[in-house]
Structure formats: C-alpha cells, structure tokens
Amino acid sequence: MNSWPDDDVILYDGVCIFCSRWIRFVATRDTARRFRFTAIQSAYGTRLAQAFGIDPNDPDTNAVVHGGIAWFKSDGALTVLGALPGWGWVRVLFWVPKLVRNAVYNLVARNRYRIFGKYEECFIPDADMRARVME
C-alpha cells in the first residue's frame, strides 16, 4: 500500500462507461461529499497512477486513496462502498479471500470495454460533480 498527500481521491478510467457510472454511483450516494474524483487521463490522474505503478495508457485497476493509504482493485471498491451511508454492510466482503475477490474484479476489468462500451473522450461530469473533480 502506498501513500499520497491528498485523501479520499478515486482514480478511474474516464473513457470507460462502467467506470464513469461507478463514479456517478458514488457521487450520488456520498452525501457528505467526502470523495473527489480524477480520471486517469487527466494530468493529476496520470501522476497519481504513475506514483502507484498503474499504466495510464492501459489501466487494470481503479484506486482510491482513503485514510492516507492507496487501495486497489476489490479492496478499493469495497473501501469506497463501505464508506458510503447505508453501504457499510459490504465490509463483510473483505472476509472473502482477496484472491477470489480480485479474480472477479480482474474479469470485469479486462472485459469492461467489450461489455459496457467506451467513450470517445473522457466522461464530462455535471456542474455539481465537476466541483469534486481533480484535474
């Protein structure tokens, strides 16, 4: 696990339709407006990805910096969900072996463009969400 100076930042693939829907899902439920978002295609997102060894041109994971620690793959998704109001119950999924959780995560990540599609350009958030985007 790596550290990063900004906290509660979610790194995502901005051209991935599934990933962009994930960000909208989180933003809608994050009533405390705790999380901020950065597309891997942005300058900030590229620096963050490179700091954690993620290839910005071929990302295979999302990442979230929470509690000063970077979480990846299923750990990242469960960390975010577990911090959302009404979603704390998902923390029980940490009991599922990481090998199993990440196998499912990797299957979806590898096929995300084929299954869900891809934007030609980075997803543009609405005005309310734009205030939470780090570029």
Domains of the chain by residue range: 9-123
32-43 per-position pLDDT tens digit? 999 999 999 999
CB crowding 25-42: b at 16 or more within 10 Å, else e: ebbeebeeeebbbbbbbb
Specify the pLDDT at position 123.
65
Mean pLDDT of 89-94: 97
Give dist(CA 51, CA 61) in Å, integer.
Answer: 14
pLDDT at 1 over 50: no
> Look-up: residue for tokens 């119950």?
89
